Amino acid sequence: LSFRQARERASAGSAKSPMTVADAVKLYLRNLGAKKGPGAQSDAEQRLNLHVIPVFGRMRVADLKLSALNEWACGLVGNEYD
């Protein structure tokens, strides 16, 4: 599930049950496990739970902004060497 696909699915969803980033992550992990195996799925799940879910998990995918993602990603790189 790409970022674009997740946004399209979120936009197609009803207002009562919008797709959150956490929902999209679950779909992604399921797809990753089927394609690359449980090891890849487990590794990605740990990283996503550490870095993505705490920041964006409750946010609706349709509300994500590229500027927020870029700022977050730059923060990750800066923290990697602290």
Average model confidence (pLDDT) across the chain: 85
Task: Indicate the pLDDT class of residue 15, thresholds 50, 70 and 90.
Answer: low
pLDDT in tens, 33-56: 999 999 999 999 999 999 999 999
Task: Indicate the pLDDT class of residue 8, thresholds 50, 70 and 90.
Answer: confident
Radius of gyration of the chain (CA): 13
Report DSSP state, residue 65: -
Angle between helical axes of 21-36 and 3-12 (0-180°, round to 10): 130
Global pTM value: 0.72
Q: Which two tokens stand for residue 1?
A: 């599930």
Lowest mean pLDDT among 13-17, 59-63, 64-68: 13-17
- Contact present, 40 and 33 (Cβ < 8 Å): yes
